[in-house]
Structure 1
Amino acid sequence: MISEIFAFGSSPVHLLDPRIRVMFAVLFSVVTAVSDRFPTVCLALLMALALPVLARLPLRPVLTRLFIVNGLVLFIWLVLPWSYEGTPVFSMGPLVISREGIGLSALITIKSNAIVLALIAMVATMPVAVLGQALDRLHIPEKLVHLLLITYRYIFVIESEYHQLLRAARIRSFTPRTDLHTYKTYAYLLGMLFVRAAARGERVHQAMICRGFNGKFLCLYNFAIKQGDLVWMLVMATGLIGLGVLEWAPVIW
């Protein structure tokens, strides 16, 4: 199952209204993603580094997730500095590393880490069910919210179906190889998985209707804006405005 190791706690971040956390995470990610100046993205990274500390998140799981993200960013460093045209800083035969390529790679790296840290601290600190309800209260289309909640609920069931089919194939002496028989077997396996998922979805839909489902998922979480939430909103808004001023004020003036 998907582990929600950050979802429960008593930190100031956990006590914030989920709607405020989602809005801040989205706005912070958008502002950081469209920023092109190093002072802005560095400030965004500092803000993002402070959030897991305020949320009192365990260090090792956070670093593990950052390691995965930076593993993907590593491919950018292996390609972009060599392929981006600009001022050469190092050459090795036909390959030339450009100053602009290094700068762009560093910019992408800082942005990626800042956005991931903000999402971990703001969004991963709530259960998926609460996240779905928060999205619904923010007037995200109901079908998208239902898709999120149902997918999270039944992805484990589909995984169980997949392992059952795989065990059945192994009992029948199936051994994966790089040949046509292996490819056809996996194709049949995936096809049967889709068939079972569709049948399961139909049964679940009928069961929900029998239990009086009216298109709304109920939630035990009480959404209410408290005084502490207003203070946090002011602080977060100030931070976002500061990023915007640092990014666009030199252009305006």
Structure 2
Amino acid sequence: MSDAFVCGCAPTARPSLDRLDARLRVLAVVATVTTILVIRSPIVLAALVPIAVSLARLSGLSWRDLGDRLAHVEGFLVVLAILLPLTVPGPAWIAIGPLALSQPGVDRAILVLLRVNLCAVAILTLLAGLEPVRFGHALARLGVPPKLVHLLLFAARWVALIRAEATRLHEALRARAFRAETSLHTLRTLAHFTGQLLVRAFDRAARVDEAMRCRAFAGRFALVAAERPARPDALFAAGLSLGLALVIAVDRLI
């Protein structure tokens, strides 16, 4: 997802994708991820990696954006890639002292690594830069339950507010020359910090609830700025469908 969803920052403009219908981008992610998951050949998956990265760069994502976001995924995948060859039963691929790496485990680890990275790049390419409000309205128009859409929209707003409150509390601690140490005083201070953060969040939530009631909030958000499919959407959908069908056909032929 974009930085706008995570912290409320302004998303990076990407005209090539921003002019597309948000619903089409969401459906494109679902179709792409589903296609990646049904591919069985690691050769096809490996061949898709440079293609996916090239498309991400063409869409406007920088190397830094890709690296920063994939770094979080790789930390989990490294652990998984180490554990799978050691835990999946089967004939040994290589033995290192008392440890034996099974061939099925290695094969499964390679598939998982390729699939997860491809899915992450696809999601970043198609959804990065999509504003939270526009994304939530697209989900609502696609039939996602309203309560889930409300949770998404509130989360997009409240993550930024809670981060701002935490920043102010942190600055107050620094102004009082607080330094984190392994001591009982530090634990008490951090406990007070967490408690104050929760109290301020609840207080802000009460004020927001009163403001929404004053504006006649009836349990649903108005879906503003309705989008209509246009010619670029049809061309994008046709090209993506053809590409995914070609990938599946090649995978079945290998």
1:176 corresponds to which residue? 180
5 Å matches for 1:77-88? 77-88=81-92
Equivalent of residue 233 in structure 2, options 213, 229, 235? 229
For residues 67 and 170 of structure 1, the distance between their equivalents in structure 2, rounded to whole angstroms, comes to: 30
1:10 corresponds to which residue? 15
For residues 9 and 173 of structure 2, the distance between their equivalents in structure 1, rounded to whole angstroms, comes to: 29
5 Å matches for 1:68-79? 68-79=72-83
Deviates most, 17-26 or 186-195:
186-195
Judged with a 3 Å threshold, the aligned counterparts in structure 2 of structure 1 residues 17 and 46 are, in CA distance, closer, same or farther, namely farther
Query: What is the count of residue pairs matched by the alignment?
Result: 247
In the TM superposition, what is the alpha-carbon distance from 1:112 to its structure 2 partner?
1.2
Q: Work out whether 1:121 is the aligned partner of 2:125.
A: yes
Identity of aligned residues (%): 30
For residues 86 and 8 of structure 2, the distance between their equivalents in structure 1, rounded to whole angstroms, comes to: 38
For residues 54 and 18 of structure 2, the distance between their equivalents in structure 1, rounded to whole angstroms, comes to: 14
What's the TM-score, normalizing by structure 2? 0.82
Q: Work out whether 1:141 is the aligned partner of 2:108.
A: no
Q: Work out whether 1:216 is the aligned partner of 2:225.
A: no
Judged with a 3 Å threshold, the aligned counterparts in structure 2 of structure 1 residues 236 and 30 are, in CA distance, closer, same or farther, namely same
Judged with a 3 Å threshold, the aligned counterparts in structure 2 of structure 1 residues 62 and 188 are, in CA distance, closer, same or farther, namely same
Give the ranges of 4+ consecutive aligned residues of structure 1 lying more than 6 Å apart after TM superposition: none
Instruction: Answer yes or no: is the 8 Å Cα contact 1:85–1:101 preserved in 2.
Output: yes
In the TM superposition, what is the alpha-carbon distance from 1:25 to its structure 2 partner?
0.4
Instruction: Answer yes or no: is the 8 Å Cα contact 1:39–1:246 preserved in 2.
Output: no
1:65 corresponds to which residue? 69
What is the CA RMSD across the aligned residues, in angstroms?
Answer: 2.8
Instruction: Answer yes or no: is the 8 Å Cα contact 1:17–1:223 preserved in 2.
Output: yes
Q: Work out whether 1:154 is the aligned partner of 2:155.
A: no
Equivalent of residue 97 in structure 1, options 79, 83, 101? 101
Q: Work out whether 1:41 is the aligned partner of 2:42.
A: no
For residues 196 and 185 of structure 2, the distance between their equivalents in structure 1, rounded to whole angstroms, comes to: 16
5 Å matches for 1:191-202? 191-202=195-206
2:34 corresponds to which residue? 30
Instruction: Answer yes or no: is the 8 Å Cα contact 1:80–1:102 preserved in 2.
Output: yes
In the TM superposition, what is the alpha-carbon distance from 1:207 to its structure 2 partner?
0.8
In the TM superposition, what is the alpha-carbon distance from 1:137 to its structure 2 partner?
1.1
Instruction: Answer yes or no: is the 8 Å Cα contact 1:49–1:117 preserved in 2.
Output: yes
Deviates most, 47-56 or 126-135:
47-56
For residues 167 and 64 of structure 1, the distance between their equivalents in structure 2, rounded to whole angstroms, comes to: 26
User: Could you say what secondary structure the match of 1:140 adopts?
Assistant: coil
User: Could you say what secondary structure the match of 2:163 adopts?
Assistant: helix
Instruction: Answer yes or no: is the 8 Å Cα contact 2:11–2:130 preserved in 1.
Output: no
The unaligned stretches of length 5 or more in structure 2 are 1-6
Instruction: Answer yes or no: is the 8 Å Cα contact 1:19–1:134 preserved in 2.
Output: yes
Q: Work out whether 1:165 is the aligned partner of 2:173.
A: no
